[in-house]
């Protein structure tokens, strides 16, 4: 099945890429989640729009990505949220919350889709999340979740 990616999919490609995947993977996973759309001749025109939008959001070069990774590595990110007495959160901390906390702490503006949270953050304490800044550069951010 030939698809056009609309979002970045780890291990598959970036927005605007035309990929060939198994039919079930495309129909049951990528397309329902809005990560891809069916390739058509009319869709070819949309590839340019997707790539132009990606270029506007994307960190421009490898040097910029390395500089942003350096800024992220020295950053202390604290996220204040409500929690119960046992230290368990009411809800969880997601990529959008982390992107906002990084920006508030003086870090670079991050796209929430580039933040990879391994296991959902549902407890107070220190957690590490991975940020893909560039296809060749990723950074690890220490996020400290404290009770409100």
Indicate where the chain has its CATH 3.40.5.10 domain(s): 2-57
- What end-to-end distance do the CA atoms of the chain give, in Å? 49
Residues 91/32/9/72 CA torsion (nearest 10 deg) = -30
* pTM for the model: 0.65
Indicate where the chain has its CATH 3.10.430.100 domain(s): 62-147
Q: What angle do CA 94, 100, 105 make, to 5 degrees?
A: 125
Q: Return all residues near 46 (Cβ < 8 A) that are at least 6 apart.
A: 4, 37
Residue-level pLDDT at 22: 95
Q: What is the pLDDT along the chain (148 residues), one digit of tens a residue?
A: 999 988 888 889 888 888 999 999 999 999 999 999 898 888 777 787 777 776 666 556 777 888 888 888 888 899 999 998 898 999 889 999 999 999 988 888 888 888 888 888 999 999 999 988 877 888 899 999 998 7
CA dist 114 and 132 (Å) reads 5
Residue-level pLDDT at 60: 61
Residue-level pLDDT at 98: 92
CATH number of 62-147: 3.10.430.100
CATH class of 2-57: alpha beta
């Amino acid at each position: 099945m030939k698809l056009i990616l609309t979002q970045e999919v780890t291990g598959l490609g970036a927005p605007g890429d035309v990929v060939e995947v198994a039919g079930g993977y495309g129909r049951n996973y990528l397309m329902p989640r809005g990560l891809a759309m069916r390739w058509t001749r009319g869709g070819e025109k949309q590839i340019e729009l997707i790539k132009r939008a990606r270029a506007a959001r994307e960190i421009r070069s490898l040097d910029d990505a390395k500089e942003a990774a350096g800024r992220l590595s020295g950053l202390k990110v604290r996220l204040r949220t409500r929690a119960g007495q046992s230290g368990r959160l009411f809800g969880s901390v997601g990529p959008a919350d982390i992107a906002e906390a990084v920006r508030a702490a003086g870090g670079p503006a991050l796209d929430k889709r580039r933040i990879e949270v391994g296991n959902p953050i549902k407890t107070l304490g220190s957690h590490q999340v991975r940020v893909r800044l560039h296809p060749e550069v990723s950074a690890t951010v220490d996020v400290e979740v404290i009770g409100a």
